[in-house]
Amino acid sequence: MTIVIRMVFALLGALGAVQAAIQTRFPDSYEPSSSRYLVWASVVLGGAAIGWLVAALVGSAFARAIRRVETAATNRSASELVVGGAGLLLGLAVAVLLGFAISPLPYVGRYVLLPLFLVLGYVFAVVGARRARSILRLAGINPARFESAGGGGSDRRVLGGAKLVDTSVIIDGRIADIIATGFVEGELVVPVFVLEELQRVADSSDPQRRARGRRGLEVVHDLRLAKRPLSTPDVDYPELTDVDAKLLKLAQERRLPILTTDYNLNKVARIQNVTVLNVNELANALKPAVLPGETLRVKVIREGKESDQGVGYLNDGTMIVIEGGRKLLGDTVDVEVTSVLQSPSGKMIFTRVAA
């Protein structure tokens, strides 16, 4: 892509140099005609060289912008692309009509035309894309026709496309480590209403909630500094007050999976056929398997719920319940695994003191 961008800039530079030479009639001042040919060749090569150098300076930023546009287009449903394109054409048509009235204005008429086209085209395209489903329904068209035409596109987006990020997974903090390993691909989408909830938590009067909110804002800041593709779309649903409900609606509209650690959101999302990537489930899947009869060495940290139980933890945070371990508080002992309880919230290992 870099070479293509540089070639395009070189071509634009050559064309710009030719236009400048034509306007100034600079090469025509040379005699004989053979000298003019050399001057024209120098103008073309010089303009191409300048365009190539400009591309070397801005080419990487230009390539990143193109990739962001490709990612955004890939993660839009077909209905959004179709209605957004129609909105762009409608906005340009309205700008043409307004141009007839504005262009005769003295002094400013011709200078307002370009901003008018840009603003109206952008506004109509964005509004059309965001309200694509409603617009199609008003036209008597079922949006599902467009969305099902991709045939398995949602599975591809889960693997490499954009992902919505929930407040809970940001506060949890492990998402930054997972992303650093490269196991999560694609752009991270943190809607503005999620950032606003983080800010509300960070401004809480409760010291623990305030610390959690500030940690979440730091995680978002670190992701931005890491040059991770991250967008914060300014979307909202005033009719919904719950942030989880807004997140689910946005996930359904854009057909994106949700990154979360929230157990309740996980269940509701799956009921509504929204793909969920649960960090807790990933962590549980990566924990080493422990079988009954195995021996572990663990420190008894605190008392358990039952009268004679003690509780310890493995290095990965897995809770170890030790029968008869209450009297061994503070000691490091060998225990034998009796059973393992796996739940959506985590794994618990039940043991007894080894003989």
Q: Are residues 281 and 207 in the same domain?
A: yes
CA distance 144 to 83: 14
Q: Are residues 126 and 229 in the same domain?
A: no
Contact indicator for 53, 12 with CB cutoff of 8 Å: no
Q: How many domains does the chain have?
A: 4
Q: Are residues 317 and 257 in the same domain?
A: no
Cis (ω within 30 of 0) for the bond into 344?
no
Contact indicator for 321, 309 with CB cutoff of 8 Å: yes
Q: Are residues 281 and 291 in the same domain?
A: no
Q: Are residues 231 and 297 in the same domain?
A: no
Q: Are residues 195 and 268 in the same domain?
A: yes
Q: How far is C-alpha 155 from the geometric centre of its chain's CA atoms?
A: 16
Q: How far apart are the first and last CA of the chain?
A: 67
Q: Are residues 171 and 281 in the same domain?
A: yes
Burial environment of residue 349 by CB neighbours within 10 A (0 to 12, 13 to 18, 19 or more) = buried
- Among 29, 59, 74, give the residue marking a domain's end: 74
pLDDT for position 1: 61
Q: Are residues 203 and 279 in the same domain?
A: yes
Handedness of CA 110, 115, 119, 125 (dihedral sign): positive
Whichever domain contains 186, its CATH number is: 3.40.50.1010
For 288, which DSSP code? P
pTM for this entry = 0.47
Domain extent, residue 342, equals 287-353
pLDDT for position 76: 67
CA distance 136 to 258: 25
Whichever domain contains 310, its CATH number is: 2.40.50.140
Averaged over successive runs of 10 residues, the pLDDT of the chain (355 residues) comes to: 78 83 68 67 84 80 72 68 87 88 76 83 85 79 54 42 86 84 80 89 88 89 79 82 89 86 87 86 75 88 86 83 88 89 75 86
CA distance 210 to 5: 47
Contact indicator for 125, 88 with CB cutoff of 8 Å: yes
Q: How far is C-alpha 342 from the geometric centre of its chain's CA atoms?
A: 32
